[in-house]
Amino acid sequence: MLSSKITVPLPESGIIVRRSGKYKYVYKVLETYRNAKGQPTNLRRLIGRLDAGGKRLVPNDGYYEFYGTDADTEAIVEPMPVIESVVSIGVPFLVAHILSRLGVTQILERALGGGRAGAVITVATYMVCEGNVFEHVSAWCERSMVVGCPLTPQKASSLFASLTHSERMAFFKGWVSSNAKQGYISYDVTSFSSYAEGIRDLEWGYNRDGDKLPQINMGCYLAQDSRLPMFYVTYPGSIVDKSHLPYMMAYNNDLGIGGDIVFVMDRGFCSTSNINHMHSGGLRYVIGVDTRHKATRMAIDSVRERIVSLRNLACDGTYAIAVRSRFYGEQSVMHVYCNPERGEYQRRDLLRIVENMEGELAQLDSASEKEVKRFTRFFDIRADNGKLVFARNYDRIDEASKNCGIFCILTNTELTSTETLSIYRNKDTIEKGFDDIKNHIDMKRMRSHKEATVDGKLFCAFIALIATSEISNVLKEFNGASKQRAMSKRGLMSELEKIRVLLTPDGKRFLNPLTKNQRNLLSAFHIHDNDLNAYLAQTSNQCMCKNNREI
């Protein structure tokens, strides 16, 4: 039986050491001889294993059989430590590791200085773990082992207010230059609602979440290769998405984004002025388009009868033909796609809409001019002796259904239809990022009532989003390779929160052994025990949760 709390000096002779797994075991040699093949061997007995330092022996019962328990063994019995507190290290370590490996930490340090950069990382880690409400940040710091100074709600607010526009741009320039020199960048917009008053960009507009609140819009770049957010800018909530596109693109020169980049956007950004702006600026794009646009309808009609052919098969039951012409005032390529199976689903949905309208009409004795206008999309309606008489107009229904399963993507690149579709589908990653920042990081409501703190808080949420996005990227590969039940982000953090450190009054720290599951999860992030021990040593050299230095 071994006890790591008891060590004795290594016997000076008559022993051999052999490694098995993570430990080196010590054996007493009882007899040496040659076996039947004439090979030297020995008879030996296990007496313990080497301690962590490799210079003393952690004895077992076999040791005492041979060496006894006399005083000359100089046995050292280490008393059980007095535990002052227990803190969680798993998630803070993971976030710190991710941000350092991606280069975020180093760029933040150059832009903000080491102290404030550490504070931003602490805030971002808190947001990854707990969300957007900073009322309990002090308690979280007490129970978590983080690099940097402890936080209070007041210190967090001071940090937010101190982050200037020039400092944020310094970070973005460094971050973009290291990640998006070429390739594809998805661009999209989300918004954050608030009850606050007096915030400059907080205005009423189209609310994506259905909240009856004013909002701030945020336009965001995401690199498709790394699937990580690159840059964001906020603007008033009343401005529609397509109107802001030229102002977003105006940052490209400052960020070092050149002609090698292709911007991928959904159809909400497609307009004649935006397409003209992209062409005049030498910017390349892949953008969805509205099939109701006149030029788009003409492109569809030109290929409708011949698109469904095996020679036009692009992928996954989707057929495609590229039409080169002048669209939205510029010479470009319209990729027309048709998915017959998807078209059938859309026709069934359209039929359900018609049936529901028919049910509504059957309940009406009369209808206003506005109501009649809505129903006449699919019905012929007239009044007969004070009652509504209606019938389906199948010509209008067929007209509405003729483009079911058809969609179009416009581009000024030389990409094939298959390549264009694949790149366009990859823009969904940015939608998942928006879902993370709103729900996982809990920024659906800004919960900030001061103009000075809004921009800084969003910046810290953006750093948290980088870490969360990378966690999603790694988990996607981990779950794809694993035969076990898929691991979610919340499940991962719940598991890693169990990695704890015991703190003693004299500053000693004892790390709980990792479980097999924890080792596997950390291994997916290319993390090993040595990395965890290095982080533990790093935190011991910096101010911890009981240190009250100012940020």
Residue 280: count other Cβ atoms within 10 Å of its Cβ. Answer: 10
Q: Are 21 and 49 within one domain? A: yes
Can you give the pLDDT at residue 549?
A: 41
Q: Rounded CA gap, 395 and 117, in Å?
A: 64
Q: Are 94 and 158 within one domain? A: yes
Q: Are 25 and 92 within one domain? A: no
Closest CA to 154 of 139, 135, 127, 174: 135
Residue 430 belongs to a domain: no
Q: Are 478 and 530 within one domain? A: yes
To 10 degrees, the CA torsion angle through 199, 204, 210, 216? -40
For the chain, 551 residues long, the average pLDDT of each consecutive 10-residue run is 69 88 87 84 88 83 76 48 75 93 95 92 92 87 79 91 94 88 87 79 79 87 93 90 92 88 94 95 95 92 95 94 95 96 95 94 81 88 82 94 95 96 92 83 72 88 95 91 82 90 76 86 88 77 43 46
Residue 358 belongs to a domain: yes
Rg, C-alpha atoms of the chain: 33
Q: Are 95 and 156 within one domain? A: yes
Residue 412: count other Cβ atoms within 10 Å of its Cβ. Answer: 20
Can you give the pLDDT at residue 533?
A: 80
Strand 56-59 with 40-50, pairing: antiparallel
- Determine the residue type at 254: D
Can you give the pLDDT at residue 543?
A: 42
Residue 154 belongs to a domain: yes
Residue 56 belongs to a domain: yes
Can you give the pLDDT at residue 74?
A: 47
Positions of E strands within 210-329: 215-223, 228-236, 261-265, 284-289, 313-315, 318-327
The residues, any chain, with a CB within 8 Å of residue 120's CB and separated by 6 or more, are: 108, 112, 159, 163, 459, 460, 463
CB contact at 8 A, 299 and 317? no
Give 445's DSSP letter: B
Can you give the pLDDT at residue 540?
A: 62
Residue 192 belongs to a domain: no
Q: Rounded CA gap, 345 and 440, in Å?
A: 32
- Determine the residue type at 463: I
Residue 6, burial from CB neighbour count under 10 angstroms (0-12, 13-18, 19+): middle
Q: Are 68 and 137 within one domain? A: no
Positions of E strands within 396-539: 406-411, 500-503, 509-511
CB contact at 8 A, 237 and 258? no
Query: How many domains does the chain divide into?
Result: 3
Can you give the pLDDT at residue 545?
A: 40
Task: Enter the pTM of the model.
Answer: 0.79
Q: Which domain holds residue 386?
A: 342-401
Complete DSSP assignment for 135-188? GGHHHHHHHB--SS----HHHHHHHHHH--HHHHHHHHHHHHHHH-SSEEEEEE
Residue 546 belongs to a domain: no
Q: Are 471 and 535 within one domain? A: yes
> Which residue has tokens 């500053």?
507
Residue 476 belongs to a domain: yes
Complete DSSP assignment for 187-210? EEEEEEE---SS-TT-B----TT-
**Tokens found for residue 392:** 């389906």
Closest CA to 245 of 215, 208, 271: 271
Give 439's DSSP letter: I
Q: Rounded CA gap, 461 and 132, in Å?
A: 8
CB contact at 8 A, 322 and 333? yes
Residue 265: count other Cβ atoms within 10 Å of its Cβ. Answer: 25
Residue 472 belongs to a domain: yes
Q: Are 69 and 127 within one domain? A: no
Can you give the pLDDT at residue 501?
A: 85
Q: Rounded CA gap, 388 and 382, in Å?
A: 6
